[in-house]
């Protein structure tokens, strides 16, 4: 049994059905917990002597808006190539998935374990989860960051306010539907002698091709000399 599987079995033995293992890449262990079980599960992950995850090394928000959507798919398209565009195709991998989630990266210094814990936020606006600040003090600023950038509220947080954006900032810039140019801009007004906020004046840009050209520049024989003999 690999070390990752050993850790997964130890967590499953301790927490049972409160957590479930989800697929992950790069040989990492990722678990998912329900919102109502979050704080209790985190406390057990910290306090159980066979787990001992005494350190929260990171916490981040996730926005699953349009997750799994392939916007620009053609019969011979690549995920990043020129010919990506004709029709929008919806390909939800998990129908009914809540839009927002929070991911907790935990480390056991004493046992040299690492685990990723994911918890989907309660449905509704604003998205909401219980704070784990009482479990790991390092969650304080991490949760403020997730609140600032994603608009996720953490119930029980002692001082939930913006930490990266300015006081007059509108919206949450890491949300997938936040405009690339923002909502407001800041400039110095010489007449008022101070900084003022105003609606953004940047014109939206189209960043996808409007026309798909089928000419010899994209002939496979020209693009790939090996296929051209």
* Measured distance CA(39)–CA(66) in Å, rounded: 29
Q: Is residue 73 part of a domain?
A: no
The percent of residues in the chain predicted with pLDDT above 90, rounded, is 53
Q: Is residue 148 part of a domain?
A: yes
pLDDT (tens digit per residue) in 22-45: 988 777 899 999 999 999 999 999
* Measured distance CA(54)–CA(51) in Å, rounded: 9
C-alpha distance across the termini of the chain, in Å? 50
Bin 132: left if φ > 0, else alpha if -120 < ψ < 50, else beta.
alpha
pLDDT (tens digit per residue) in 154-203: 999 999 999 998 877 888 999 988 887 777 888 898 999 998 888 888 77
Q: Is residue 183 part of a domain?
A: no
Task: Tell which residue, 176, 114, 169, has the closest CA to residue 150.
Answer: 176
Q: Is residue 23 part of a domain?
A: yes
User: Domains in the chain: how many in total?
Assistant: 1
Q: Cα–chain-centroid distance for residue 106?
A: 16
CATH, residue 20: 3.30.460.80
- 27: containing domain: 1-64+99-175
Q: Is residue 76 part of a domain?
A: no
pTM of this structure: 0.75
Distances (CA, A) of 138 to 54, 56, 157: 11, 6, 12
């Amino acid at each position: 049994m690999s070390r990752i599987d050993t850790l997964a079995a130890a967590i499953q033995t301790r927490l049972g059905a409160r957590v479930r293992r989800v697929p992950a890449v790069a040989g990492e262990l990722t678990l998912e917990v329900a919102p109502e079980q979050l704080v209790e599960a985190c406390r057990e992950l910290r306090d159980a002597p066979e787990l001992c995850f005494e350190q929260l090394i990171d916490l981040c928000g996730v926005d699953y808006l349009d997750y799994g959507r392939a916007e620009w798919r053609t019969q011979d398209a690549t995920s990043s190539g020129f010919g990506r565009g004709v029709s929008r195709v919806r390909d939800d991998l998990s129908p009914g998935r809540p839009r927002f989630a929070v991911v907790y990266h935990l480390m056991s210094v004493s046992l040299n374990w690492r685990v990723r814990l994911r918890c989907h936020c309660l449905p509704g606006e604003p998205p909401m989860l219980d704070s784990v600040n009482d479990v790991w003090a390092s969650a304080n600023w991490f949760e403020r960051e997730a609140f600032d950038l994603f608009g996720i509220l953490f119930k029980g947080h002692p001082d939930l306010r913006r930490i990266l954006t300015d006081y007059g900032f509108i919206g949450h810039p890491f949300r997938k539907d936040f405009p690339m140019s923002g909502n407001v801009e800041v400039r110095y007004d010489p007449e008022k002698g101070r900084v003022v906020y105003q609606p953004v004046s940047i014109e939206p840009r189209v960043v996808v091709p409007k026309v798909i050209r089928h000419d010899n520049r994209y002939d496979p024989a020209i693009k790939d000399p090996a296929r051209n003999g």
